[in-house]
A = this chain, B = another copy of it.
Amino acid sequence: MVDGIKTITVVGLGVIGGSYAMALTKAGYEVYGVDKDEDTLAKALAKGAVAASNVDCREFFAVSDLIVMALYPDMIAEYLADNVEYIKDGAIITDVAGLKSHFVETIESVLPEGVHFVFAHPMAGREKKGFDFADDKVFRGANFIITPTENTDAKAMQKVELLAKEIGFGQIKLTSPKAHDDIIAYTSQLPHALAVALINSDSEDSETGKFIGDSYRDLTRIANINEKLWSQLFINNKQNLIGKIDEFQVQLELIKKCVQECDFDGLEKLFVKAGIRRNNLQK
């Protein structure tokens, strides 16, 4: 267990918050769960994911060394502003949001002196939403990104890093909120856009399911998307995402042109390049 952290509150027991609660409880922490949904609170308690749960965070915040804000990104600042007076002095707060630049300043502006926010993006998830799909094993070996700002406390950040390692994350990478949002537009948002566009371009009269292999299944798995969360992530990262879609479209046009012109050599070169890049990725 990480030095100085005993009690943790997870706000938002959806698929990610729920997974955090489970993993942290397993790691030996006293974990409290907050959610607006009573059923979710009861489930989390029954499953042993949390030691106590409540729709109200105040009592939990007063005794927590760490708070995990597992809410939609646009709700974090407001929630903290409403409850900032209950947070214990010296507490660390972290989040799980898939987007940073757009929210970082507003969140930092509501924090009192002596409370340290460490912005983090656990690169793990599930296609399904809600506590029912929470699973502490999703973090195993996954990438964990921390986006420090000029206000980030070094010791608090170190503790969040240790905690991430403790619950199973693999590589931990530090980068700026701006750089994070740029690369995430490519590695996370663009794949989701492609999956959605792929499945939406199906002609519905065909018996598609009988003609698919693993490739189609793999590429469309994430088309089962949380529409509220992902429309926020896409639109709040507009410039970066549009740029990545543009770059993708250029590459798809290259393939199309080779096919159109029956250019076997050109197509093979594009395939070889892709194969090399995919192999390098695995290293």
A211→B187 CA distance, assembly (Å): 7
A281 touching B234, Cβ below 8 Å: no
Per assembly, the copies of the chain total 2
Q: How far is the CB of A232 from chain B (nearest CB, A)?
A: 8
A173→B207 CA distance, assembly (Å): 10
Q: How far is the CB of A225 from chain B (nearest CB, A)?
A: 5
Checking B143, B213, B222, B255 against A188 with a beta-carbon cut-off of 8 angstroms, the contacting residue is B213
- Is A209 located at the chain interface by the 8 A CB criterion? yes
Q: Which residues of B contact A238 (CB under 8 A)?
A: 259-260, 262
B216 touching A218, Cβ below 8 Å: no
- Is A152 located at the chain interface by the 8 A CB criterion? no
Which chain A residues numbered 168 to 183 have a C-beta less than 8 Å away from chain B? 171, 173, 175, 180, 183
A251 touching B200, Cβ below 8 Å: yes
- Is A210 located at the chain interface by the 8 A CB criterion? yes
B277 touching A202, Cβ below 8 Å: yes
Count of chain A residues with a beta carbon within 8 Å of a chain B beta carbon: 90
- Is A201 located at the chain interface by the 8 A CB criterion? yes
Which chain A residues numbered 202 to 250 have a C-beta less than 8 Å away from chain B? 202-203, 206-216, 218-228, 230-232, 234-235, 238, 241-242, 244-245, 247-250
A34→B280 CA distance, assembly (Å): 33
A194→B235 CA distance, assembly (Å): 22
Quick one: closest B residue to A190, CB to CB?
A: B198
- Is A145 located at the chain interface by the 8 A CB criterion? yes
Chain A interfacial positions (CB closer than 8 Å to B): 123-125, 127, 142-143, 145, 171, 173, 175, 180, 183-184, 186-188, 190-203, 206-216, 218-228, 230-232, 234-235, 238, 241-242, 244-245, 247-252, 254-256, 258-260, 262, 264, 267-268, 270-275, 277-281, 283
List 8 interface pairs A-B (beta carbons < 8 Å), by A numbering.
A143-B213, A145-B210, A184-B211, A190-B198, A218-B221, A220-B281, A225-B271, A235-B258
